[in-house]
Amino acid sequence: MSLRIKAKYPYIMTINGCPHDRTQGDNYGQTCVDCGQVLGGYGFWGEGRKTCLHRFVSSHDPKYVECLYCQKTIDADKLD
């Protein structure tokens, strides 16, 4: 089963101008190796942030999308 990434990355290419080419991620989140910015979830190893930077993907129910990292669900409509 593959997850379809629906959310865009509005926070990529922000603040420091780093393109975030190299990232590392796990179940907790994703972090840029070069600049250390958290790109998703709580950051790699869950050490980057106290609150989840949600990344919503398709869930089993097409009406809802689910955060890859904290499993929060919202209406799929709300992504647009």
Residue 27 is given by DSSP the state S
User: Strand, coil or helix: what is 57?
Assistant: strand
Choose one: 4-12, 42-50, 52-60; the region binding Zn ion (CB under 5 A).
52-60
Residue 70 interacting with Zn ion (CB under 5 A): yes
Residue 18 interacting with Zn ion (CB under 5 A): yes
Residue 34 interacting with Zn ion (CB under 5 A): yes
Q: Which residues contact 30 (CB under 8 A, 6 or more apart)?
A: 23, 24, 38, 39, 40, 41, 43, 44, 55
Count interface residues toward Zn ion (CB under 5 A): 12
Residue 47 interacting with Zn ion (CB under 5 A): no
> CB count, 10 Å around CB of 59?
16
Query: Which residue shows structure tokens 């904290």?
Result: 70
- Shortest spacing between CB 20 and Zn ion, in angstroms: 4
Site for Zn ion, rule CB under 5 A: 18, 20, 32, 34-35, 37, 52, 54, 67, 69-70, 72
